[in-house]
Amino acid sequence: MSEHNGLVCLGVNELYHKRNMQHSHHVLPTLCLFEFTDEMQYLITEKQALLVEHDIAEVVIRTTLAKWYFQLTNRYHYEVLTYLHIQADSISFSGKMKPYKSPHFTTPIILIDSIKKTGSVIKALPLDKLTIPLALGLIKEIQILSTENYDLSDLYWELDDVASNIRKLDEKVVNKLSFECEEALSQISTESNSLNSRQEVLEVQIGNLLIRLVKNIFGITRGDWISYVSPATAEMTQLRFDNCSFYEGVLTIYGLGLTKSGILGKREQSIRIDLVP
Amino acid sequence: MRKARKRRQVFLFHDHPRSGIDVPEDDWNYVINLVTDLFKFYKAQGCNIEVTWWGEIFIKLPSFETPFEISINHKPAHIKIDQVIKKIKDSGLARIANLDLATSLSLSVRPIRKRTKWHSFAIDTKVAKPVSLTAKVNEHIQPKISSYYKHDDELDKLRKITKEDLIAVIRLGGVLLSRNSMLHYLAAELNRCIYVSKLTISDSTITIGVGRLYEESVHHFGKKELKFFHKYVPEHIFLTEDNEINY
């Protein structure tokens, strides 16, 4: 960071709720209406592929597939620029009307599952695909990053131990510490801060790689319904894929469980798969 | 009506938007043709047709004292939208069966009286000239307007440029001219007022009376704002002292 471009600071508005904006109540639509057509579903699936491919959290596109109803005038308003926000398992719409220059209203985020006409198809996890070269490559990469992460984590906690002891010492005694000692203390704390931020970067990277792994190898994305039969116990688990993590060679897939009658349950379930033999 | 169309942007900021034609560009020509036919039909009967500064359409049949107004826009047909809104408030999401978003153009009429309701007719855009529509409107409106016998001053009220209109214009100016304009700050101030008792615009000042104590404040504006006002407010507004002026 040798060159400074000047720090940019932005005000913060509450998102998706009452924004502190002038006369917003006059220009807010009451309802957003859209039809969840096959065309729209295809569009969403297509854009969701981009999410995984480029590690994107949200894709926003302009659309004409939604209409905005205003209760005050009891009609649909035209000339509303509508944006469709596509996330891994959900969508939302936002809109902008003349003379505003940026979107000034949005719908809540809704799960795609909740608007699908037909129930979701339950997909089985093809475990045999874990041995293909692409999978092995990704697993290797994840492993390297996560090893680095563990090492950093260990170092962080060890350092923290030392630093807190020195701090305790500083608080307990009245005598002033020597300058060198004070210096060392502040260096330790800088070091532990940078370790912490490096760890956070690693965690995001690992997360993205994991999403890519399950997408490319198992063909599943967030929100998909999956079933898994454990090779060891032959026990079957069915859940909606919400999140996944990696720890010591084991991939864990979390999500709300599916009940025997094939609907979404309330309890969180998990699937553990050994990636590293 | 073409001229008024641009001014109707004001109604986005209006507490009680006025009636008239609000349709997208694609439908505009079709609707204008339809309205022209409608006007011809009523003219032939010797009706008095009035189009206001804001693009409202008032029609007075020769044999009846009460006129009626016409609105054309897109609205959800055949469903009870209030129930949908209620459901959304409860659960955040509602599914509506048999609502066709594509065909929603409709014509609404209302006798110009206090507390009268709008009645809507769907317009079939596939038919070039829906003759039956005029008949339907007539069938509905004639018995309605013939049932009134007392005089009502609703029409005179509608004809005036009201405080509400001017507040809406100021709000629009606040957004259009953004932070560089005093209208931006004036609009914010007006929104904080519970009751505005008086509002007049001259060619360089806006005078606002707030509350019961009738505290008046005068706000000066420049050329930029004047140019804006000339687009949205009729000329004579600047000339008279009283803010509620006849056309």
CA distances (Å), origin A76, targets A67, A131, A232, B74: 7, 54, 58, 5
Block means of pLDDT (10 residues each) for chain A, length 277 residues?
A: 58 55 61 85 90 89 88 85 91 86 83 74 82 86 90 88 80 76 81 88 91 86 86 86 88 88 84 83
DSSP B85-138: HHHHHHHS----TT--SS--EEEEEEESSTTPPPEEEE--TTSSS-HHHHHHHH
Chain B touched by A69 (CB under 8 Å): yes
What pLDDT, on the 0 to 100 scale, is given for residue A23? Answer: 46
CA distances (Å), origin B146, targets A68, A108, A158, B140: 37, 48, 91, 11
What pLDDT, on the 0 to 100 scale, is given for residue A85? Answer: 93
Chain B touched by A102 (CB under 8 Å): no
Looking at residue A259, what DSSP letter applies?
P
Best of B175, B184, B189 to substitute, by most chain A Cβ atoms within 10 angstroms, is B175
As a whole number of angstroms, the longest Cα–Cα distance in chain B is 58
Chain B touched by A111 (CB under 8 Å): no
Cβ contacts of residue A44 below 8 Å, gap of 6+? Answer: A86, A91, A112
What pLDDT, on the 0 to 100 scale, is given for residue A11? Answer: 67
Phi-psi region of B98 (alpha: psi -120 to 50; beta: other; left: phi over 0): left
Q: Which residues of B touch A79 (CB under 8 A)?
A: 24
Cβ contacts of residue B138 below 8 Å, gap of 6+? Answer: none
Contact A242, A252 (CB under 8 A): no
Nearest by CB to A22, from B88, B104, B187: name it.
B187
pLDDT tens digit at each of 247 positions of chain B: 778 888 888 888 888 889 999 888 888 888 888 888 888 888 888 888 889 988 899 998 888 888 899 999 988 877 778 888 888 877 777 877 766 666 688 899 999 888 888 888 888 777 766 777 888 888 888 888 888 777 778 888 888 888 888 888 988 888 888 788 888 888 888 877 777 888 888 888 888 887 766 678 888 888 888 888 888 888 877 765 554 444 3
Contact B54, B4 (CB under 8 A): yes
Check: complex ipTM more than 0.90: no
Q: Which residues of B touch A16 (CB under 8 A)?
A: none
What pLDDT, on the 0 to 100 scale, is given for residue B245? Answer: 44
Q: Which residues of A touch B172 (CB under 8 A)?
A: 99
Taking the C-alpha atoms of residue A217 and residue A210, their distance in angstroms, rounded to an integer, is 10
> Chain A closest CA to B229's CA: distance in Å?
16
How many interchain CB pairs under 8 A, A with B?
A: 70
| pTM (global) more than 0.95 | no
Per-residue pLDDT tens digits for B207-218: 888 776 667 888
What pLDDT, on the 0 to 100 scale, is given for residue B57? Answer: 92
What pLDDT, on the 0 to 100 scale, is given for residue A196? Answer: 87
Taking the C-alpha atoms of residue A116 and residue A121, their distance in angstroms, rounded to an integer, is 11
Q: Note whether A22 contacts B76, CB cutoff 8 Å.
A: no
Per-residue pLDDT tens digits for B98-153: 666 666 888 999 998 888 888 888 887 777 667 778 888 888 888 888 887 777 78
